[in-house]
Structure formats: C-alpha cells, structure tokens
Amino acid sequence: MGIPATIREDFPILGQRVNGKPLVYLDSAATSQKPRQVLDAVRRYYEEYNANVHRGVYSIAERATAEYEAARAAVARFLGAAGPDEIVFTRNVTEALNLVAYAWGRRHLRPGDEILTTEMEHHSDLVPWQLVAQERGARLRHIPFDDQGRLILDELDRLLTERTRIVALVHVSNTFGTVNPVAEVTRRAHACGALVIVDGAQSAPHRPVDVRALGCDFFGFTGHKMLAPMGIGGLWARRPLLEEMDPFLGGGEMISDVWLDRATWNEVPWKFEAGTPNVGGAIGLGAAIDYLERLGMDAVAAHEREITAYAMERLREIPGLHILGPGVDERGGVVSFWMDDIHPHDISQVLDTEGVCVRAGHHCTKPLHRKLGIGASARASFYVYTIPEEIDVLARALLKTRELFSVAR
Ligand code: 7TS
C-alpha cells in the first residue's frame, strides 16, 4: 500500500500560501513538517500533565515519567535496539555524536590512534572528531567519494589499519543522497578491531533501520527530521559501551550519589541525561514514531523513491542543470544540483516567489563542496507528504529561473 496524498491533511502548515502561491515545502532534509498527531501529543502533555520527570511522586509527574519512558521504548522498537536502556535522549544528532566523541573518545583515544570518517560527512560528524583528535593526539583520515558521490570502498582496506579505533560515517548523505553501505563498512571495520558510529540523521526518518542488522556500535538520530519537534534526538549504543563510558555532561539526574568532592553515576541510559530533559519533545517523538509506524517504513521508503525518481527525471529536462550524487537506486529522497551561471541562492530566491522552499548553500558539508569545486548547491528534499504535483511546480519554477537569468545576461 502506498502513502495516500490525503495524509497532507494531517500537516496544517502544508495548507498555507506563501507569496500568493501554495506552499511547496521541499526542504525536509533540513527539517520535516509536523503532523497534527504530534502537535496534539505535545499540547496534551503541556495542558494535562506537565511536570518534571523521575522525581515527582504525584500523579501527573508519574504520568509524565511514564510517557517519557514510553517514548524511549518506542525509539528502541523503531531502531531495533535490544531494549530502551540502549537509548539516550539528546537534543539532536549533533549532541549524540559529540557525546560519543567525548565520552568514548577521551577514554579510548591515544596519540597516534586513527579516526576514520568520510569526505561526505556533515560538519556535525567531522568537527567533534577534529576536536577530540586534537585533544588526544589522534589522527583523522577520510574515505573518499567517487564522481557519483559514492564511497570508494576499495580505499577502505588501505585506510583501515590496526591504528583505526573508530569509523564515523553518515548513513544517508544529506547532500548527495547516497545510501552508504554501512553493514559492509562495519564488517570490515570490526575485522580491524575498530568501532563504528553511524550518523542516521537522514536515514532513520526515511527507511527501515535495524541497528542490529547494520551491526554498528553507535547510531545517532535527530527527531525534528522525522516529524517530531526540534530539541529532541538520541543515541543508540550497545549497552556495554554505554556502561564503560564516563558521563558526557554532569548535573542532576545523571548521578547516583553526590558528595562535595565526588559523585557516582546513575544507571544507563540516565547517566547520560544530565538536567531536565525535553519531556514534551520526547513525547512528540513517540507520537511521530507511532505515525511513521502506522504508515510503515517500507511504504515511506517506497514513496520517497518514487518521488525522487520523478524529480530526477524532471530536473534532467532543465538545460544547464547538473544533479549531484548517484542514481536513484543508491539514494534517498535528496536531490542536490547546480545550474550553469546561476548562484544557488538566486535559485532559492526565485523559487521562493513561486512558493517553493529549497535549501541553498553548502548544507553543512563544506569539504564535500570544496572537493567538487563548487562553493554551494541547491537542494530539494522530500518526505511522506511530498506529491508529484509539487515536483512539477519545482520544475516549472526552475525553468522560469533559467529564463530570468538568460534574459538578464
Ligand atoms: N547529520 C546529517 C547527515 C544531517 O543531515 C544533519 C542536519 C545533521 C547531522 C545535524 O542535525 P542536527 O539536528 O543535529 O542539527 N542536516 C541539515 C541539512 O541538511 N540542512 O539543514 C540541516
């Protein structure tokens, strides 16, 4: 069963007009829109049982704690974790990746050790490793990509050495859209004794993810790209890894006992959740997962594949437009492109006059763009609510952009 276009009615924002035109939101890789079911769950929390979690012994606090922990269980089920204790809530995937870089990296990295990432990483899976590598005297290396934006796996065996401690890679590239062969990379990394951390920001929202089938050791995700509010995300990690790591942040909730000069730690996962968490956000994430599970992640992936194939077909008709990344069989719902003689910011501005939202810039993948020799690109990205008619609007608006700029020259 495909995804019916009627689900658009669940997304209040999609009924809007901007600049006199129906809103065509094609920037879901930056953040997704939110269905009523998620908005209602968050509002219900604030209207009916807003209270801090894990401390009150009165009814609404108990309900808040139960719903917060139910959301953790939903995430565990959604990602195929062994249990909710393997899920740490964070603000977003950036915080999840930093958590591992610091809590794991500070304990395990020694001078001369190597951290392997890729040339297509988002800055949030590069910079934390740069910081910890500098602090620990470790060395960063990078898996290159080919001219279609695919990782060059032939290089992997050369790059993986007995010094490699961890491989940090993006599951689905937010710029190329490439779906990286995480299971294969993990198999080879483990054979060298290295751990693997996956940036799942663009995969968990869009395709079935089973962390145990992937075989990786850490998996980060971010709620706002999967129908949930901003400010909630998380980290999945194998329980023994969470247990051996020191906390990342100190404060309330993450302790077991505290003296003036020392403290002991709470159990996992709470050891990593210092301070009052985003309870409303977690509850919204639980509702978002319910929503996605009702649609079925296979159906979500199939829908996006269809939309992406159609978008690539329509965009290829536009003269002087160049699509980045691999063919539709190897990509998620992201199509980045550039156009001869037109800056991506100009593209985005002209599209905005037609009600079309696309991202322009480096998409937090500056090294990737630098390697391609382009400073920036434009990007259309899709989700469950995207319909082919919106791709038609995009294609018409791009043709209009082309005409405007050829007249201007
Ligand atoms: N990793 C990838 C692959 C991403 O696409 C993003 C966000 C992040 C990490 C960071 O997510 P955050 O929620 O922690 O901020 N990517 C984008 C984007 O492509 N456009 O805006 C944000």
Q: What is the pTM assigned to this prediction? A: 0.97
Q: What average pLDDT score do residues 386-390 get?
A: 98
Active site residues: 364
Q: What average pLDDT score do residues 339-344 get?
A: 96
Q: Which residues does residue 139 pair with via DSSP β-bridges, in sequence order?
A: 114
Q: How many residues make up the chain in this entry?
A: 409
Q: pLDDT for 69-96, tens place per residue?
A: 999 999 999 999 999 999 999 999 999 9
379 lines ligand 1 (CB under 6 A): no
What pLDDT score was predicted for residue 57?
Answer: 87
From 95, 117, 364, 377, give the residue whose CB has the most ligand 1 atoms within 8 Å, as the site to mutate: 364
42 lines ligand 1 (CB under 6 A): no
Question: Residue 342 has which token pair?
Answer: 């037109």
Which regions of the chain carry the CATH code 3.40.640.10?
39-293
Q: Which fold has domain 39-293?
A: Aspartate Aminotransferase; domain 2 (3.40.640)
Q: pLDDT for 395-407, tens place per residue?
A: 999 999 999 998 6
What pLDDT score was predicted for residue 17?
Answer: 95
Q: pLDDT for 51-67, tens place per residue?
A: 999 887 899 999 999 99
Q: How far apart are the CA of 62 and the centre of ligand 1, in A? A: 34
What pLDDT score was predicted for residue 408?
Answer: 57
- Report the nearest-CA residue for atom 17 of ligand 1: 30
**From CA 336, how far away is CA 91, in angstroms rounded?**
27
- The answer on pLDDT for 2 being more than 90 is no
Question: Which are the contacts of 186, defined by CB distance < 8 A and separation ≥ 6?
Answer: 167, 196, 214, 215, 216
Q: pLDDT for 108-119, tens place per residue?
A: 999 999 999 999
203 lines ligand 1 (CB under 6 A): no
Q: What average pLDDT score do residues 244-257 get?
A: 94
What pLDDT score was predicted for residue 1?
Answer: 58
Q: pLDDT for 144-173, tens place per residue?
A: 999 999 999 999 999 999 999 999 999 999
From 124, 175, 365, give the residue whose CB has the most ligand 1 atoms within 8 Å, as the site to mutate: 124
Q: How far apart are the CA of 364 and the centre of ligand 1, in A? A: 7
Q: pLDDT for 347-376, tens place per residue?
A: 999 999 999 999 999 999 999 999 999 999
What pLDDT score was predicted for residue 409?
Answer: 56
Q: pLDDT for 181-203, tens place per residue?
A: 999 999 999 999 999 999 999 99
From 91, 122, 357, give the residue whose CB has the most ligand 1 atoms within 8 Å, as the site to mutate: 122
What pLDDT score was predicted for residue 55?
Answer: 81
Cβ atoms of residues 365 and 120 within 8 Å? yes
What pLDDT score was predicted for residue 104?
Answer: 98
362 lines ligand 1 (CB under 6 A): no
What pLDDT score was predicted for residue 214?
Answer: 98
Q: Please give the residue that has the higher pLDDT: either 253 or 344.
A: 344
Q: Report, at the CATH architecture level, how domain 5-30+297-408 is classified.
A: Alpha-Beta Complex (3.90)
30 lines ligand 1 (CB under 6 A): yes
Residue 328: phi, psi to the nearest 5?
A: -65, -25
- The answer on pLDDT for 248 being more than 60 is yes
- Report the nearest-CA residue for atom 21 of ligand 1: 30
Q: What average pLDDT score do residues 16-23 get?
A: 95
> What's the whole-number average pLDDT of the chain?
97
Which regions of the chain carry the CATH code 3.90.1150.10?
5-30+297-408
